[in-house]
C-alpha cells in the first residue's frame, strides 16, 4: 500500500452497525527503563520520545543543536509530556538533548535528509565485480541533466507546528 | 538500436490477513479482489504473450505475506467458495439485464468470473505462485522480493530487526520460487543510508527509490534519475521517473480517469437485494463485490453513471498504450540528446493499480508489450537486463526517502500512529533478547521463539501505520498491531519464566501461521556487522 498521488481516493471505511469496536488487547501504558529515542520523520521534522521513571515538576526541555553546537530548536514541555515533534533544518547532522528541569537526561544524535540536490559534484564511477565489490571504471561520456529533471522532487516539510506535543 | 530503456516494475503486496477463527472475514476480501482483478489477469496476460511469442520484460515484486496467502490452503478454499458465489450472482445479473444498456457489461462480468475460476482452478491448480515461477524460469518475468512483512525498515530500532526483515524475505522467496532473489522492493520505497549495506550482505544487487532518493544523493548524480547509481556497497539503486508515473497514476492527467473506463465505486454489491448478496457477505456488512457495470462517464454522481461498454473500454486501453509508448519514445529521444547517453526510465507501480483500481490496466499493459515489440526506439527491459547492458555507474549515497506523500517518512510516522513505535521497538528488543538467550533451546522453546518471530514480523507491517494515517479500517489495523504485540509479549514472558503454555502456543501457531520456515536465530546480535545501518532511529539510556 503506497500513498502519494493516487488515481482515486481510498474507499470509504466499511462500518458495522454494531456499537462495539474491537481494538484488540490493551498494551502497556509505558515500559520500565530510562529510554529516549529520536526518529526522523522528514527533512524538517524529528520526533523525540521518552520513557522515564518519573516526571520532573519543572517539566521537560528539548533542545536540538547543529554540528557546531548552535541551537536549532528548543521546546518547553509540561511534566506529563512523553514526546516532542521538533522542527529542524534539512540535511542536518545534529544532537538532541532532553532535560528534566535543569538536569540533562540524555543526548542523542540525529540526522535529517536533504531536500535539495547536493552541491557536491565530484564523480566516481564503478562497476560491480564478480565478488560484489566496486571496481573502478573510467568516467563515461555524457552531460549533466539537472534541467531535465523536471518536477521530480517531493513537496517538502509539511505543516506541522514546531512542538505539537 | 534503441535510444533508451524502460523498466516496468509492479509491486504486489497485501498484508497477511487470514482468520480461521471466523467462517468469513471482511478483510480477506483484499486477497480475493486482488486475485480476481489483478493477479490472475496478470498471469493470464503473460500466458497470452508467451503463446504469441511477444516479449514481456516485466519486473514483479511479490511480497512474502502475499506469497504466504497465495500458498495457504484455507484461503485457497475460501477463494474458491467466493468465486462460486460471485459466479451465481454474476449469472443472475446477466440474466436480469437482458435488453438493458448494461447487458454487455453484465455478460462480460459473468464470463470473467467463470474464466477466472477455470484458469485458477484448472490451469493453475489453485497455485498462482507456480504459474509465476514458470514465467520466471522461462525468462519472461523478473521476480523479486519485498522486505519481510513490508516493515518500514528505517523506523525500526534495532539492527537485528532490519537485517531479519531482509533475510526472512530472501528465505521466503527461495521457498516459493526455488532460488534467492536478485532484487528487492524496499517497503514504501523507504530508504535510509546504510540499508544498502544490509542488502549487499544478503546478496541483493538492486533496489528502487523515489525520484529524490537519487536526485538528492551525495554527490549529485550527473545523470539524475535517468540512470542507476551504485552505492558504496555495490548495490544498484534505480529511481522512479515521475513523468512515466504521472500519465498512469495521476487523477487529473492519468489514463484511469477516462470516461470510457469502468467505474470503481458503483458496484452490484451496493445495489442488489440483501437476499442475493447474502452468500457473499455471510453476515458481514454490505460492500462492493467486484461486479461493476458502469463507466466513469464524467464528473457525475454514481446514479448518473452510464453503462460500461467493454469493447469501447479495451479499445481505449490500446490507444492509451500507444500514447504511453509514443510519449516514452519522445522522452528518451529528448533525454538521450541532452545527456549524450542512453537513459533508463523506471516506471514502478502498485500491481493492484492494474485490474483492481483500473480495470482496463492489464489490457493496457498487454497492449503496451505488443506495441513495444514492433518498434526499437525504446527497449523494454528489466533492472537485471539494464545492469547487464550498462554496468558502469556513478557511486553515490542515496538520500533518505520514501514514495509516500511528500517523499518523507511522515505517512508512517505522525501524530496518529507514532504510538505504535514505542511498542514495536520494545517488541524488537524482546525478540532479540529471546534469540540471544540460548544456543540450544528445547523443542518447545524453539517453537515459542519461532512464533515470537512471526508475531513481531506481522506487527511490523507498514500497512497498519498507513491505514491509521489514511483513516480507513483503523480498528482492524490497531487490533492487528495490538494482538501480535500482546502475543509476542506473552511468549517472551513465558519463555523467560519457563512456563510456556503449549495448548495456547498451538492456538497462536494455527492463527498466525505465516513463515513456517522462520529462523529466530536471525535476530541474534552476533550476526550484526553494521551497527546503525539504514536506521532513522537513535536510542539512548537516560544519563
pLDDT tens readout for residues B375-386: 999 999 999 999
Q: Please name the helix (run of DSSP H) or strand (run of DSSP E) that holds residue B489, with its range, or none.
A: helix B474-497
Quote the CA–CA distance of A157 and A42 in Å, as a whole number.
7
Contacts of B219 (CB under 8 A, 6+ apart): A118, A120, A121, A122, A123, B394, B396
pLDDT at A52: 86
Question: Averaged over A99-103, what is the pLDDT?
Answer: 92
**Of the listed ranges A20-29, A95-104, A118-127, B156-165, the one predicted with least confidence:** A20-29
- Going along chain B from its start, the domains and CATH numbers come out as 4-406 (3.20.110.10), 413-523 (1.20.1430.10)
Read off the pLDDT of residues B437-489 as tens digits, 9 standing for 90 and up.
Answer: 978 899 999 999 999 999 999 999 999 999 999 999 999 999 999 999 999 99
Mean pLDDT of B26-51: 96
**For residue B161, is pLDDT > 90?**
yes
Q: Residue B167 region, left (φ>0) first, then alpha (ψ -120 to 50), else beta? A: alpha
The residues near B542 (Cβ < 8 Å, ≥ 6 apart) are A34, A35, A36, A50, A52, A105, A106
Provide CB contacts within 8 A for B326, sequence distance 6+.
none
Chain A residues 54-93 within an 8 A CB cutoff of chain B:
83, 85
> Of B47, B79, B513, which is closest to residue B290 (Cα–Cα)?
B79
Q: Quick one: average pLDDT of A85-92?
A: 97
Give the residue on B whose Cα is nearest the Cα of A142: B340
* Over residues B493-502, mean pLDDT: 96
Nearest CA-CA partner of B156 in B536, B452, B530: B536
Instruction: Measure CB to CB from residue A148 to each of B217, B224, B475 and give the nearest one.
Output: B224
CA B176, CA B340: separation in Å to the nearest integer? Answer: 42
Which site among A46, A53, A142 would you substitute to test the B interface, given the most B Cβ atoms closer than 10 Å to its Cβ? A142
Cβ–Cβ of B403/A35 closer than 8 Å?
Answer: no
Is B524 strand, coil or helix? coil
The 3 state secondary structure assigned to B422-474 is HHHHHHHHHHHHHHHHCCCCCHHHHHHHHHHHHHHHHHCEHHHHHHHHHCCCH
- Say whether A145 and B473 touch across the interface (CB within 8 A): no
What 3-state class would DSSP assign to B283?
Answer: coil
Task: Please tell me the distance in Å from A146's CA to the nearest CA on chain B.
Answer: 6
Nearest CA in chain A to B485: A27
Rounded to two decimals, the pTM is: 0.94
Q: Tell whether A133 is within 8 A of chain B (Cβ).
A: yes
* Nearest by CB: B392 against A41, A137, A158: A137
Closest-CA residue of chain B to A91: B399
Least confident of A155-159, B4-8, B93-97, B422-426: A155-159
User: Pick the residue with more confidence: B24 or B464?
Assistant: B464
A13 phi/psi in degrees, rounded to 5: -65, 140
Per-residue pLDDT for B86 more than 60? Answer: yes
Q: Which of B152, B399, B462 is the best substitution to test chain A (most A C-beta atoms within 10 A)?
A: B399
Strands (E), chain A: 35-42, 45-51, 60-65, 71-77, 83-87, 93-100, 103-111, 125-128, 134-136
Average model confidence (pLDDT) for chain A? 81
pLDDT above 80 for A133: yes
Closest Cα to residue B357, out of B269, B270, B263?
Answer: B263
Chain A residue closest in CA terms to B389: A127
pLDDT recorded at residue A6: 39
Q: Give the model's confidence band at B283: pLDDT under 50 very low, under 70 low, under 90 confident, else very high.
A: confident
Q: Residue B147 corresponds to which cell in the numbers above?
A: 522486505
Q: Do A142 and B340 touch (CB under 8 A)?
A: yes
What pLDDT does residue B265 have? Answer: 94
Q: Which residue of A has its CA nearest to B411?
A: A3
For residue B222, which residues of chain A lie inside 8 Å, CB to CB? 121, 123, 142-145
Beta partners for residue B9, in sequence order: B59, B348
Cβ contact, residue pair A42, B222, below 8 Å: no
At B272 the pLDDT is 87
Shortest Cα–Cα distance, A85 to chain B (Å): 9
Closest in B251, B335, B403 to A148, CB measured:
B335
The grid cell for B337 is 540528446
A101 touches chain B (CB under 8 A): no
Return the pLDDT at B251.
64
Q: How far apart are the CA of B84 and the nearest CA of chain A, in angstroms?
A: 23
Query: Which residue among B155, B287, B339 places its CB closest to the CB of A143?
Result: B339
The set of catalytic residues of B is 188, 350
Q: Which residue has the cell 533475510?
A: B167
**Out of B189, B411, B542, whose CB is closest to A105?**
B542
Q: Which residues of A touch B426 (CB under 8 A)?
A: 31
Please state the rounded mean pLDDT for residues B138-143.
96
pLDDT grade for B24, boundaries at 50, 70 and 90: confident
Instruction: Check if the beta carbon of residue B196 is closer than 8 Å to that of residue B387.
Output: no
SS3 B359: coil
Banded pLDDT at A13 (limits 50, 70, 90): very low
Residues, chain A, total? 165
Residue A159 predicted with pLDDT over 50? no
Closest chain A residue to the Cα of B391, Cα to Cα:
A127
Q: Where are the domains of chain A?
A: 35-111
Write phi, then psi, for B392 (nearest 5 degrees). Answer: -85, 135
Is B542 in Cβ contact with A35 (below 8 Å)? yes
Task: Classify residue B281 as exposed, middle or buried by CB count within 10 Å of its CB (0-12, 13-18, 19+).
Answer: middle
Q: Is B516 left (phi over 0), alpha (psi -120 to 50) or beta?
A: alpha
- Chain B hits for A31, Cβ within 8 Å: 422, 426
pLDDT at B51: 98
User: Is the ipTM reported for this complex over the cut 0.85?
Assistant: yes
Q: To the nearest whole angstrom, how far is the Cα of A43 from the nearest Cα of chain B?
A: 7
CB A105 within 8 A of CB B542: yes
**Facing residue for B287 by CB, picked from A14, A118, A142:** A14
Is residue B256 helix, strand or coil?
helix
pLDDT over 90 percentage in chain B = 90
User: How high is the pLDDT of residue A145?
Assistant: 79
Give the fold, CATH level 3, of A35-111: Immunoglobulin-like (2.60.40)
Does residue B158 have a pLDDT over 80?
yes
Residues of chain B positioned with their CB less than 8 A from the CB of A8 = 251, 256, 264-265, 357
Instruction: Say whether pLDDT at A144 is over 80.
Output: yes
pLDDT single digits (tens) B352-404:
999 999 999 999 999 999 999 999 999 999 999 999 999 999 999 999 999 99
> Residue B118: exposed, middle, or buried by beta-carbon count in 10 A (0-12, 13-18, 19+)?
exposed
Handedness of CA B406, B407, B410, B411 (dihedral sign): positive
Structure-block grid coordinates of residue A98: 532532553
- Which chain B residues are closer than 8 Å to A28 by Cβ? 423
Residue of B nearest to A106 (CA): B542
How many CB atoms are closer than 10 A to CB A33? 12
| Predicted local confidence at residue B1, as pLDDT | 63
Distance between CA B187 and CA B465 in Å, rounded?
13
Strand stretches in B313-451, DSSP E: 344-350, 378-381, 393-394
3 state SS of B19: coil
Residue B110 has pLDDT above 70, yes or no: yes
Q: Chain-wide mean pLDDT for chain B? A: 95
Of A2, A111, A128, which has the smallest distance from its Cβ to B391's Cβ? A128
Confidence of residue A53 (pLDDT cuts 50, 70, 90): confident
What CA–CA distance (Å, rounded) separates A76 from A71? 14
Average pLDDT over residues B120-148: 96
In the predicted model, is pLDDT for residue A16 greater than 80? no
How confident is the model over A22-27, as a mean pLDDT? Answer: 88
* Stronger pLDDT, B499 or A21, i.e. the higher one: B499
Residues in chain B with CB shorter than 8 Å from the CB of A48 are none
Amino acid at each position: 500500500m503506497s500513498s502519494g498521488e493516487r488515481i482515486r481516493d481510498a474507499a470509504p471505511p466499511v462500518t458495522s452497525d454494531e456499537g462495539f469496536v474491537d481494538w484488540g488487547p490493551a498494551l502497556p501504558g509505558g515500559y520500565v527503563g530510562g529510554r529516549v529515542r529520536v526518529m526522523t520523520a522528514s527533512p524538517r521534522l524529528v520526533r523525540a520520545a521518552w520513557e522515564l521513571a518519573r516526571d520532573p515538576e519543572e517539566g521537560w526541555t528539548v533542545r536540538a543543536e547543529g554540528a557546531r553546537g548552535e541551537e536549532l530548536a528548543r521546546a518547553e514541555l509540561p511534566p506529563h509530556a512523553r514526546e516532542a515533534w521538533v522542527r529542524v533544518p534539512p540535511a542536518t547532522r545534529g544532537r538532541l538533548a532532553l532535560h528534566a528541569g535543569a538536569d540533562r537526561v540524555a543526548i542523542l544524535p540525529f540526522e535529517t535528509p536533504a531536500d535539495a540536490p547536493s552541491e557536491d559534484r565530484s564523480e566516481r564511477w564503478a562497476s560491480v565485480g564478480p565478488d560484489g565489490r566496486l571496481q573502478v571504471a573510467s568516467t563515461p561520456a555524457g552531460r549533466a541533466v539537472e534541467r531535465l529533471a523536471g518536477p521530480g522532487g517531493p513537496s517538502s516539510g509539511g505543516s506541522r507546528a514546531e512542538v505539537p506535543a | 538500436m534503441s535510444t533508451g530503456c524502460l523498466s516496468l516494475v509492479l509491486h504486489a503486496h497485501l498484508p497477511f490477513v487470514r482468520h480461521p477463527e471466523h467462517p468469513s472475514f471482511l478483510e480477506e476480501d483484499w486477497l480475493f479482489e486482488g486475485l480476481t482483478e489483478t493477479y490472475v489477469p496478470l498471469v493470464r496476460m503473460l500466458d497470452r504473450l508467451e503463446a504469441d511469442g511477444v516479449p514481456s520484460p516485466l519486473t514483479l515484486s511479490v511480497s512474502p505475506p502475499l506469497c504466504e496467502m497465495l500458498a495457504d490452503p484455507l484461503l485457497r478454499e475460501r477463494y474458491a467458495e467466493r468465486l462460486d458465489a460471485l459466479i451465481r450472482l454474476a449469472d443472475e445479473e446477466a440474466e436480469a439485464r437482458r435488453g438493458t444498456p448494461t447487458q454487455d457489461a453484465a455478460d462480460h462480468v459473468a464470463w470473467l468470473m467463470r474464466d477466472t475460476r477455470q484458469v485458477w482452478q484448472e490451469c493453475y491448480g489453485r497455485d498462482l505462485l507456480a504459474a509465476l515461477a514458470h514465467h520466471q524460469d522461462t525468462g519472461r518475468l523478473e521476480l523479486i522480493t519485498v522486505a519481510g512483512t513490508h516493515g518500514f525498515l528505517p523506523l525500526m530500532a534495532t539492527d537485528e530487526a532490519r537485517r531479519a526483515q531482509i533475510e526472512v524475505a530472501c528465505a521466503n522467496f527461495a521457498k516459493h520460487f526455488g532460488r534467492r532473489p536478485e532484487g528487492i522492493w524496499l517497503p514504501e520505497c523507504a530508504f535510509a543510508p546504510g540499508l544498502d549495506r544490509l542488502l549487499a550482505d544478503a546478496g541483493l544487487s538492486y533496489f528502487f527509490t523515489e525520484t529524490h532518493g537519487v536526485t538528492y544523493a551525495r554527490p549529485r548524480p550527473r545523470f539524475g534519475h535517468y540512470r542507476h547509481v551504485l552505492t558504496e556497497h555495490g548495490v544498484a539503486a534505480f529511481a522512479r521517473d515521475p513523468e512515466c508515473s504521472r500519465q498512469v497514476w495521476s487523477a487529473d492527467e492519468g489514463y484511469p480517469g477516462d470516461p470510457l473506463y469502468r467505474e470503481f465505486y458503483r458496484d452490484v454489491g451496493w445495489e442488489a437485494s440483501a437476499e442475493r448478496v447474502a452468500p457473499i457477505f455471510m453476515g458481514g456488512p454490505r460492500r462492493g463485490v467486484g461486479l461493476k457495470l458502469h463507466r466513469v462517464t464524467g464528473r457525475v454522481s454514481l446514479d448518473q453513471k452510464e453503462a460500461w461498454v467493454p469493447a469501447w473500454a479495451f479499445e481505449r486501453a490500446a490507444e492509451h498504450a500507444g500514447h504511453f509508448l509514443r510519449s516514452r519514445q519522445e522522452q528518451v529521444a529528448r533525454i538521450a540528446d541532452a545527456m549524450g547517453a542512453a537513459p533508463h526510465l523506471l516506471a514502478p507501480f502498485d500491481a493492484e493499480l492494474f485490474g483492481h483500481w483500473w480495470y482496463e490496466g492489464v489490457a493496457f499493459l498487454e497492449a503496451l508489450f505488443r506495441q513495444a515489440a514492433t518498434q526499437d526506439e525504446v527497449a523494454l527491459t528489466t533492472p537485471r537486463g539494464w545492469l547487464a547492458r550498462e554496468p558502469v555507474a556513478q557511486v553515490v549515497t542515496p538520500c533518505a526517502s520514501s514514495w509516500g506523500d511528500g517523499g518523507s517518512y511522515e505517512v508512517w510516522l505522525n501524530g496518529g500512529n507514532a504510538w505504535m513505535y514505542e511498542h514495536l521497538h520494545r517488541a524488537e528488543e524482546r525478540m532479540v533478547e529471546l534469540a540471544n538467550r540460548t544456543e540450544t533451546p528445547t523443542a518447545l522453546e524453539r517453537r515459542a521463539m519461532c512464533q515470537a518471530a512471526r508475531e513481531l514480523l506481522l506487527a511490523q507491517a507498514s500497512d497498519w501505520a498507513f491505514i491509521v494515517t489514511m483513516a480507513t479500517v483503523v480498528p482492524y489495523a490497531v487490533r492487528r498491531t495490538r494482538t501480535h504485540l500482546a502475543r509476542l509479549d506473552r511468549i517472551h514472558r513465558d519463555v523467560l519464566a519457563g512456563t510456556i503454555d503449549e495448548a495456547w502456543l498451538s492456538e497462536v501457531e494455527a492463527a498466525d501461521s505465516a513463515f513456517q520456515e522462520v529462523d529466530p536465530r536471525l535476530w541474534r546480535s552476533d550476526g550484526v556487522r553494521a551497527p546503525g545501518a539504514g536506521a532513522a532511529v537513535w536510542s539512548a539510556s537516560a544519563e
